[in-house]
Amino acid sequence: MLLSEVFYYLFNMSISASVVGVIVLLLGKIKKLPRRLVHILWVIPFLRMWIPVGIPSKYSLMTVISKFFTTRSVVLYDGALNFTFANYIMAADNYFPITYKVNMIESLIGIAAIVWIIVAIALVLVFSILYVVTKSELKDAGLLRDNIYVSDKITSPAIYGVFRPKIIVPKSYELRDLHYVVAHESAHIRRKDNLWRVIAVISASIHWFNPFVWLFLKKFLEDTELACDEKVLADCGEDEKKAYALALVDCAESTNVFVSPFGGAKIRVRIDRILSYKKLSIISVVSFIVFAAAIGYVLLTNAS
């Protein structure tokens, strides 16, 4: 049954995503790492959620794990570059097509696959309806200037829309100085953060059965705001940090997963990072790029 085979592979992919996601979560605890780097590292577990194959390497984290836990790498393509599938469940004898070791396992996975697809479709539909309703409620937002609109239906400035995003601020903000608000939201637009939010939410919906995925989604959304703060501060002078932090305090928090709010994430954490922010030197930037590439290689490759 095709659906059960899809779920079998997906379940293994979810386990891989959990392993590498925990590593990214731990790396995020290192305060000296720029949030823009940590935000990029979140791509790794999300790739693990979507891509079933990888290149085997003796330097892979999965190689280390295979020495302590029973896992198997199934070769899918043997050529100049080998492509393997990380198999943690090991409930099958053959994989093309999948033939299970016992009939009971086949029945259980078949039932689990049906439950999975029903809940996944339901979640995608719920989030899609939420997105459509949010957009429809803000259709009457009035143009203030440029790409900035005002609405009396929101409490915090935010970016609304994915492909043609707009900066929408509360009606009460019309006469305020919006310099830092616009700088923050414009950074979100340039970084296409709302698109990445949608991809992250869909990924979590597909892997809904994995509690780690929802934790990763929460941390990813928080790091999105912290990374955007760093992007703004990189273009600000040292004396502007306090003004930016004060503008942040003045905004209410938003809880809509499809928007990039100026006052989102944990305000205290953001203010601490804003006030302690220091611009990176060229050497630091190069070092972090090399570090990210090494981490990506270790976490995205499979056991040899």
pLDDT in tens, 102-118: 788 888 888 999 999 99
Please answer whether residues 62 and 302 qualify as being in contact, where contact means their C-beta atoms are separated by less than 8 angstroms: yes
Per-residue pLDDT at 261: 58
> What is the average pLDDT across 182-202?
93
Q: Print burial letters for 113-140: b (CB count within 10 Å at least 16), e (below 16).
A: beebeeebeebeeebeeebeebeeebee
166: left (phi over 0), alpha (psi -120 to 50) or beta: beta
Per-residue pLDDT at 177: 79
Task: Give me the sign of the Cα torsion angle 211, 120, 200, 86.
Answer: positive
At residue 24, the 3 state secondary structure works out as helix
pLDDT in tens, 50-105: 998 888 888 998 888 877 766 666 766 666 667 887 778 777 767 777 777 778 88
Which residues on neighbouring strands pair with residue 291, listed in sequence order?
none
Q: 12-21, 246-255, 275-284, 291-300 — which is least confidently predicted?
A: 246-255
- pTM given for the model: 0.89
230: which residues sit within 8 A by CB, 6+ positions away? 34, 35, 36, 273, 277
pLDDT at 45 over 90: yes
Rounded Cα–Cα distance for residues 244 and 238 (Å): 11
pLDDT at 255 over 90: no
